[in-house]
Structure 1
């Protein structure tokens, strides 16, 4: 029988100890990686939930701005809904994803665009529907825009979110409820899947519906649950939604333990280094900083009206001109060689010029006139009860005022003006095209002049 030497025994012992150490290091490395992985995935999940909530909120705010546009148009037309079918299509086409726009005088749905497919909703009394009147009454009580949903639409059985804005008129210093402006957004058109990585996450969106006591599931994709969960709030008019997200199970991760042991048998140290590196890489995050789109009537830079609001004013002025058989003029001007200003002095100086021009216009137009920044370096003025001769004189005076003004950096600016008057029975689109053509002709003739097109 062969004897075992003490040295051999120590060699075997070292091998065993070495194997044990390798396995311990491998197990430690795996656990280290697993913990880092969990933290990273949780961090990634939280970040994605916050980002998705922010993107969904921005998308919703863009869509419900149409509700306020309806309200503004009603105010501008003195609550005359006779031409609803004329201006509703233009409002409807502003924001994709809207199912329909509606008006409900006295709480009764009476006007819908598009009407096709929504006929069953006509005549629906929002204040007498016992299943859906709480939200309508809450909107009236708070005088605020309220989100309702998810609900099943009467007209087509689809799930939808409804934004209702209560509208009040004033009579003898008292507020009188006129009705609701309404935007219907089908849940499938909100585009939740556009804001969430479906390959990585299960999620659902919960909403608080005033017509129901408990939170309702607005939309869900896959089973929510598991070890990694996160949620983030979405601010909506009249309340909050919640997006809840969970990670999908990663089948590749189950094989990782065996891989770790295999790699650890070769080099525990190398694998440990790799785990630390992966841990550090996984903890890197991206900074997210996006703002909700400012949707109001003012141009953010100059403080004067923006194009959308001006178009609404023009529609109202057009209706008044037709009704009263009066005249109306439009002046548009474009800064000459404005690109040279930006290129030579920088955009900060260009912004200063635009602000100063807005101030000049505010100081020189009449109280009855309205003006706006039309876009870029273009401005436009609406002149009710103004003949072509008067409009040309006003434009010429404003042109000279701009020409004689000395801007910062001793900068001199000129502008090319176009003038036209409203023709009977023409659309405001044709009116704007003609005044734009007048500006183009002014530039063609040498700039810094006024051109009138009849």
Structure 2
């Protein structure tokens, strides 16, 4: 599946633009050298005297060397810092992209990343038939942890839950924190039956894990298969509907763990 590389605002200066400035400065320096050479040569030849020819050539060579030194100084003092600044901007842009696409609490991909990537996956489904399923998991018991042990304990449990889910999904799958204690998984290359088995495995993993002494969570899990005619909103709405039905079933039949 596609990895997150969604668009972010272009920085004011990037390595490509810095390289362009570098080449432009070199071209302008070369043009200036050539122009001054032509001017000096025309002045020398236009004088008509042969006696001062050697001093004129010496002055011309000295001038060209001085201009070359000037070009080196410009390169060192102006162009190189511009390129270094461009590299720093690129590093900052990468850090901003990570911040934009990652949930700070769990370290997982966030809802912004999902909204960009699901569009690509649906387009891949329509063009190439690359099917995938969505698995939505809602953690149960977080409110109880917040009320009895405090919000810091709830945040720690959420972080550990995110890492637990990450360890139990395939490398090709994409795991997102949707909101609060709800997580969403895009599982590629499997049908709804396989996805249902996978969702059940995740539910058992969550319910069998002790997050800290005395802290256990439940999980309500639902599956929806992506369809070629889906828009992102339709796909997500079908997962939400399936999750609501599953929650009603759990409340009706009672918890299994």
Could you tell me the TM-score, scaled by structure 1's length? Answer: 0.36
CA gap 1:369/1:136 in 2 versus in 1, 3 angstroms? closer
Determine the structure 2 residue equivalent to 1:254: none
Gaps of at least 5 residues in structure 2 are 20-88, 91-95
Query: By how many angstroms is 1:315 displaced?
Result: 1.2
Determine the structure 2 residue equivalent to 1:350: 154
Does the 8 A contact of 1:334 with 1:379 survive in 2?
Answer: yes
Match of 1:359 among 163, 181, 192: 163
Counterpart CA distance in 2 for 1:412 and 1:445 is 21
Higher relative contact order (CA 8 A, sep 6+): 2
Does the 8 A contact of 1:299 with 1:373 survive in 2?
Answer: yes
Q: CA RMSD in A?
A: 2.9
Does the 8 A contact of 1:392 with 1:419 survive in 2?
Answer: yes
Does the 8 A contact of 2:139 with 2:218 survive in 1?
Answer: yes
Query: By how many angstroms is 1:424 displaced?
Result: 2.0
Match of 2:233 among 413, 417, 429: 429
Determine the structure 2 residue equivalent to 1:445: 249
Counterpart CA distance in 2 for 1:140 and 1:322 is 35
Determine the structure 2 residue equivalent to 1:325: 129
Query: By how many angstroms is 1:444 displaced?
Result: 1.3
Q: How big is each residue's C-alpha offset from its partner over 1:10-69, in whole Å with a ceiling of 9 and x where there is no partner?
A: xxxxxxxxxxxxxxxxxxxxxxxxxxxxxxxxxxxxxxxxxxxxxxxxxxxxxxxxxxxx
Query: By how many angstroms is 1:295 displaced?
Result: 4.2
Tell me, what secondary structure is at the counterpart of 2:102? coil
CA gap 1:307/1:137 in 2 versus in 1, 3 angstroms? closer
Query: By how many angstroms is 1:386 displaced?
Result: 1.4
Counterpart CA distance in 2 for 1:338 and 1:441 is 20
Query: By how many angstroms is 1:324 displaced?
Result: 1.3
Query: By how many angstroms is 1:396 displaced?
Result: 0.3
Are positions 1:141 and 2:17 aligned together? yes
**Which has more helix, going by share of residues?**
2
Regions of 4+ moved over 3 Å: 71-74, 135-139
Query: By how many angstroms is 1:142 displaced?
Result: 3.2
Counterpart CA distance in 2 for 1:136 and 1:300 is 26
Query: By how many angstroms is 1:137 displaced?
Result: 8.8
Match of 2:186 among 363, 366, 382: 382
Give the number of equivalent residue pairs. Answer: 175
Are positions 1:336 and 2:140 aligned together? yes
Match of 1:391 among 177, 195, 202: 195
Query: By how many angstroms is 1:136 displaced?
Result: 8.8
Query: By how many angstroms is 1:377 displaced?
Result: 0.8
Gaps of at least 5 residues in structure 1 are 1-70, 75-90, 92-100, 104-134, 144-236, 239-291, 450-454
Q: How big is each residue's C-alpha offset from its partner over 1:302-330, in whole Å with a ceiling of 9 and x where there is no partner?
A: 11111101221211111111111132100
Does the 8 A contact of 2:122 with 2:228 survive in 1?
Answer: no
Task: Identify which range, 299-308 or 319-328, moves more after superposition.
Answer: 319-328
